[in-house]
Chain A
């Protein structure tokens, strides 16, 4: 009980003292997760859109596959990425293991299925008349697509937020392919794992609180962007 209170006190202290190490850890977490989510959205939204708005053989299977991939264990993704980018793996010569870039690759694989699956349900939920109307009004396929996506923008935003939540909070993959290197690949979650293993529960807990605060701020920001649009 004592270290829970101590953790909260320490968290407050650390946030307001602008501790350099904490600051760089938080910034690195944000950087890696933002890049991953940016790339995941770039890939995931179009794929989800195509699957969601078209009828074809094997669609149900494909949707099931993406839904399953949402539950991909983070350590398994870590292991897969690891075996590909280790010096012994096919991508070994790139020297990516234990770099932030490796963590981005891992998080991309974690987040993309979520964004694809949620984009599928978002675009499927759109009234089919939107598509028909746009097309009869002579909209180009691209224009039709943006119209549908714009109709579904709130659900798409939710997809991106869900993906972000997954990657900012995951530890298995980040630990395995990042290596938890101080000042280089140490993110909030891997730092928490390390501090816990060192018996520094208070410090770990305060990092956890900061993580929540960061996630909260990101959601507030996105919510604010949504509000400004509507």
Chain B
């Protein structure tokens, strides 16, 4: 073999060998959570102090609430933070999760084109607003991905006694950010959590105004749940509980309380685990 070729091969081999460095063991904790918490940027400030304190890396897997819980159910993550109380209760009842704690809340809002073709501005309840949208066949974009936001949307349709279908009802099957952009492009109505909405409107990524808000039914609480170590002995239960402890501690709750104040002029979430963090 020619020496030059040897050199080339050696370079490649060296690169490949050095590449295995990521196999080095480092303690990692896997957290499945919703796209809304990830897209808002909250975890980027909430997790680093915890990682430093416990010398651990938290792997955040942002998916819809349905999938986040499914990953936890399969034992593919150690802890999960989601927002769909009915699904969370089922998850705990079926023994997949233990030690659920309330973390924070914000609320859902209904956004749509400025001109409000369905006239939902005057609606008294979210269900009434949805009725108006369907009666006027105004374009509505549904997450369609079993996420917390999607579950809430379906609950509203149910309350309104409507089975949404037709060319005006579009099921995107995408994350919150994608759907906001889609609604903006199509001048459509959609439901969104306030956190993601503020992040997008503040960044001038969308223009749709909030047309309906304030119905207590639109309350959006977030909970954190450890995967049951009795079901999945391999999970890092101790560190999962440490994370739950951190997020619901006065320090963690203070970070949540302050998050977004500077950037969006108002906090994106209201912490609830301790009084007055």
Interface residues of A (CB under 8 A from B): 28, 31-32, 34-35, 38, 86-88, 92-93, 95, 97-98, 100-101, 179-185, 196-200, 225, 228-229
Q: Are A98 and B2 in contact (CB under 8 A)?
A: no
A197 contacts B19, C-beta separation under 8 Å = no
Q: Which residues of chain A have C-beta atoms less than 8 A from B206's C-beta? A: 199
In contact, A197 and B177 (Cβ under 8 angstroms):
yes
Given A35-B19, A38-B12, A199-B180, also A86-B74 (CB < 8 A): yes
B61 and A35 form a contact (CB under 8 A) = no
Complex partner residue of B181 from A93, A183, A199, CB under 8 angstroms: A199
A34, A88, A92: the one within 8 Å of B15 (CB): A34
Chain B nearest CB from A189 CB (Å) reads: 16
Nearest Cβ on chain A to B25's Cβ, whole angstroms: 11
Can you name the residue of chain B whose Cβ is closest to the Cβ of A226? Answer: B8
Q: A32, A35, A197, A200: which contacts B35 (Cβ < 8 A)?
A: A197
Q: Are B177 and A199 in contact (CB under 8 A)?
A: yes
Measured CB to CB, the nearest residue on chain A to B174 is A197
User: B75–A31 contact, CB under 8 A?
Assistant: no
A38 to B5, CA, bound (A): 17
Taken together as a complex, chains A and B put the C-alpha atoms of A34 and B181 apart, in Å, by 35
Q: Which residues of B contact A228 (CB under 8 A)?
A: 4-5, 8
Partner of A100, one of B5, B22, B76: B22
Is B175 positioned at the interface, with any CB of A under 8 Å from its CB?
yes
Asked if B23 CB lies within 8 Å of chain A CBs, one says: yes
How many angstroms between the C-alpha atoms of A97 and B39 in the bound complex?
A: 22
Confirm or deny: B263 has a beta carbon within 8 angstroms of a beta carbon on chain A: no
CA distance A86 to B60 in the complex (A): 17
Q: How far is the CA of A180 from the CA of B28 in the complex (A)?
A: 15
**A229 contacts B200, CB within 8 Å?**
no
Closest beta carbon of chain B to A138's beta carbon, Å: 21
Q: Are B8 and A197 neighbours in the complex by a CB distance under 8 Å?
A: no
- Interface flag for B95 (CB, 8 Å): no
B162-204: contact bitstring with A at CB < 8 Å (1 yes, 0 no)?
0000000000001101101100000000000000000010010
Q: Which of B1-33 contact A (CB under 8 A)?
A: 2, 4-5, 8, 12, 15-16, 19-20, 22-23, 28, 30
Q: Could you tell me the distance between the alpha carbons of A182 and B8 in the complex, rounded to whole angstroms?
A: 32
Q: List the B residue with the shortest CB-CB distance to A101.
A: B23
User: Roughly how many angstroms separate A156 CA and B15 CA in the complex, as a whole number?
Assistant: 20
What is the minimal beta-carbon distance from B144 to any residue of chain A, in angstroms?
15
Is there an interface contact between B203 and A199, defined as CB atoms closer than 8 Å? Answer: yes
Find chain B residues with CB under 8 A from A101 CB: 23
Known contacts A101-B23, A179-B61, then 16 further A-B pairs from the complex at CB < 8 Å, ordered by chain A residue: A28-B22, A34-B12, A87-B234, A92-B75, A93-B234, A97-B76, A98-B30, A181-B60, A181-B61, A183-B57, A197-B175, A198-B177, A199-B177, A199-B200, A200-B205, A229-B4
Residues of B within 8 A of A184 (CB): 28, 57, 59
B62 interface residue, CB < 8 Å from A? yes
B232 CB-CB contact with A under 8 Å: yes
Q: Compute how far the CA of A86 lies from the CA of B206 in the bound complex, rounded to whole angstroms.
A: 37
5 closest residue pairs by CB, A with B: A199-B205, A87-B75, A31-B19, A179-B61, A197-B177
Contacts of B180 in A (CB 8 A): 199
